[in-house]
Structure 1
Amino acid sequence: MPDLAYYASLPRSRGAAAALLLDDLGRVLLVKPTYSEGWFLPGGVIEADESPLSACLRECEEELGLVPRLDGLACVDWGSPRSDGVDSVNVFVFGGSITGAEADAIRLPPDELSDHVLVAPEKIPELAPPHVARRMEPALRAMAEGRAVYLEDGAEQPFGTPALGRR
């Protein structure tokens, strides 16, 4: 029988999931929240007992009015605690596609999102907050290469070399 007190004492981790959706021109779908500055990928918080993929699909359905076609995991980005008091977070970004007809049919919840746009990847740093924009280039590259990438604060972590602190 598991030691429930032990498991209850372990640290908790905050998570979020987002969809990196590209149209046939390679543009990225971004949404504009009513409660925050800047543009974001559709997605949100992973609820208790919910998988990252389920959270991504649920959030897209709630925010866009559609369930996107996802091709797989593009990246996981561990974000360290921020100076403004926001805890560390694991962000799972799933890559997929969106058609022009689907983009035209998007229905945003007006209390949560005010707009959506398809934008060239090079424009993302001008629109998205730094903690969102930093993961776009590695995630897009990973999608193009058909693989997933692991990031820490948006920086790709190399594998195949000894971990820091290990000898």
Structure 2
Amino acid sequence: MDSEQAEFVAQLPGKRMGAGALFVDELDRVLLVEPTYKDHWELPGGVVEAGESPYAAAVREIREELDLVVPIGRLLVVDWVPPGRYPSDGVKLIYDGGLLSVDRTAEITLRAQELRCWAWSDDGEAAKRLPGALGRRVAAARRARAQRATAYLEDGFAVV
């Protein structure tokens, strides 16, 4: 790459990116985690690192946070997140983690430095535990899973 191309590339905007997974149990409740470094609950997942695919990040984060190695399924949600809590915008992706059996759930081991606890949450509990855009994102992921579709959102709201 010549210096003119390098200058152009260096000035391109960077986006934050996060990836996680939607797990459900036999009662169709969603698995939520409570991070030690945030004041709200969320889905298992985290930041996509430089040079890492979002899918690989979801798999890695599930292993790091819950000590689970499970197959992650198809993409459920793409959500563009405007600047706000962070100065730049970002993209959040949610994959289908599938059904976690009682046996697999018993294998969950939390990393105390990252997570306080986890809980299965029905729709009402999830609505209480999750802040606005994240609650909308999880609800959209549940609908997309049920409809075998993929949803595109902006700040948790359906666009298409």
SS in 1 for 2:93: strand
Gaps of 5+ in 1: 159-167
Partner residue of 2:114? Answer: 112
Seq. identity, %: 38
User: Which runs of 4 or more aligned residues in structure 1 lie more than 6 Å from their structure 2 counterparts after TM superposition?
Assistant: none
Q: Post-superposition shift, 1:134?
A: 1.6
Equivalent of 2:57 in 48, 55, 58 = 55
**Separation in structure 1 between the aligned mates of residue 29 and residue 155 of structure 2, nearest angstrom:** 24
Residue 70 of structure 1 and its aligned partner are, at CA, apart by 2.1
The reply on whether 1:46 has 2:48 as its aligned counterpart is: yes
Q: Distance in 2 between matches of 1:4 and 1:68?
A: 40
Instruction: Identify the match of residue 133 of structure 1 among 125, 132, 135.
Output: 135
Counterpart position of 1:95: 96
Q: By how many angstroms is 1:62 displaced?
A: 0.1
> TM-score, normalized by length of structure 2?
0.92
Shift of 1:85: 4.2
Residue 96 of structure 1 deviates from its aligned partner by 2.0
Question: Measured at CA, do residues 118 and 47 of structure 1 come closer, stay the same or move farther in structure 2, by a change above 3 Å?
Answer: same
What SS does the corresponding residue of 1:70 show, helix, strand or coil? coil
What's the TM-score, normalizing by structure 1?
Answer: 0.88
RMSD: 1.4
1:152 aligns with 2:119: no
What one-letter code is carried by the residue in structure 2 that aligns with 1:59? Answer: E
Show the counterpart of 1:162.
none
